[in-house]
Amino acid sequence: MTFPTITDETLAALRARVGRDVPRPEPYIEVATRDAIRHWAHGIGDRNPYWAAARVAPPTILFAMDRIVSGYVGGLPGIHAMYGGTEFRWRRPIREDDRLVGRSVLLPLEEKPSTFAKRAIKQTYRTTFGDDAGAIVAEADSWCFRTERDTARERRKYAPVEPHRYGQAELARIREAYRTEAIRGATARYWEDVSVGEPLDPIVKGPLTITSIVAFVQGWGSLYVRAHGLAFDLFDRHPALGIPNAFAVPEPPERVHWDEALARAVGVPGAYDYGPERVAWLGHLVTNWIGDDGFLVRLAVQVRRHNLIGDTTWCRGRVRARGAPGEVTLELEAVNQRDETIAVGEATVMLPRRAA
């Protein structure tokens, strides 16, 4: 089949939405219940017992509480949306039974030259999360790159990649990294004790499988995955979302995450993970390091490459700077077994002080 292209008319229609409130899709969860917190933590592989004991949520649970912050975009029907990253800014922790509602607006569009698809539109939404009292809990800017599927495939930036086959020694290394994962916990990490250049204890994620993608979706909720009549209702409302599968049955473009054929049809090397999952992994790295008494203020992550089925991701970081009393800036990266950097980011955290 032939996919639509970006036209001046469809782009002008999308630009007309800038600055306006975006209709809010039904979220996967609205209340951070104990079950929702557990499912999110399990979905991203975060085994920190603090989330259950302290009745607070991993900060990136906001992905499960709003679809727009997770990469749900409007406009440009039939144009592929490639998640690019998110910058979160939190004002307080997210506690058990918090009911949070996101309000989103479209920020000005940016047109980017692209070796992948010649023309790419960076589409960014700002989502503000408020609680029942009307207080702002967090704000997030999330962006996707809109690319023409046929153009991306024809330019052939990416060749198919053979899935990595693991030997027993590699699996033993991964197993050992999981077994020895360092969770700071109740032992306070004081601001005075932190040194510039100090490394964070790394964590491993993967090898990525379709099973682990299903586990993530169980905690996150996905964007367009619907079943039975709900699926047909969705495609009736948004016809361009329904891409025929091998049986000529419409399915959402989201299946690039498990369907090799569709992934290659849109110009990528194979089925790959969800970008928000990588943001959450780097958030997991940070919360492990800061301990129970630390607070994650800001997390900004850019997704750089595809994390393919079969890949293993090593999440690392180091201290970039110490700022005002208690404040520390971290630089973060996610690297696969081919030594390719698949995500980069930075975080701002507040740590307890000895004087306090």
pLDDT in tens, 25-52: 999 999 999 999 999 999 999 999 999 9
Predicted pLDDT of residue 153? 55
CA distance 287 to 272: 25
Domain 8-350, CATH class in plain words: alpha beta
CA distance 44 to 205: 9
Predicted pLDDT of residue 157? 57
Residue 352 tokens, joined: 């307890």
Distances, alpha carbon 83 to alpha carbons 71, 80, 90, in Å: 6, 10, 21
Predicted pLDDT of residue 119? 78
**Low-confidence residues of the chain: pLDDT under 50:** none
Question: From the centroid of its chain, how far is CA 76?
Answer: 22
Nearest to 60 by CA among 247, 241, 284, 273: 284
pTM above 0.85, yes or no: yes
SS (H, E, C) the chain: CCCCCCCHHHHHHHHCCCCCECCCCCCCCCECCHHHHHHHHHHCCCCCCHHHHCCECCHHHHHHHCCHHHCCCCCCCCCEEEEEEEEEEECCCCECCCECEEEEEECCCEEEEECCCEEEEEEEEEEEEECCCCCEEEEEEEEEEEECHHHHHHHCCCCCCCCCCCCHHHHHHHHHHHHCCCCCCCCCCCHHHCCCCCECCCEEECCCCHHHHHHHHHHHCCCCCCCHHHHHHHHHHCHHHCEECCCCCEECHHHHHCCHHHHHHCCCCCCECCHHHHHHHHHHHHHHHHCCCCEEEEEEEEECCCCECCCCEEEEEEEEEECCCCEEEEEEEEEECCCCEEEEEEEEEECCCCCC
Residue 249 tokens, joined: 């049955």
CA distance 329 to 270: 35
pLDDT tens sequence across 292-302? 999 999 999 99
CA distance 251 to 242: 5
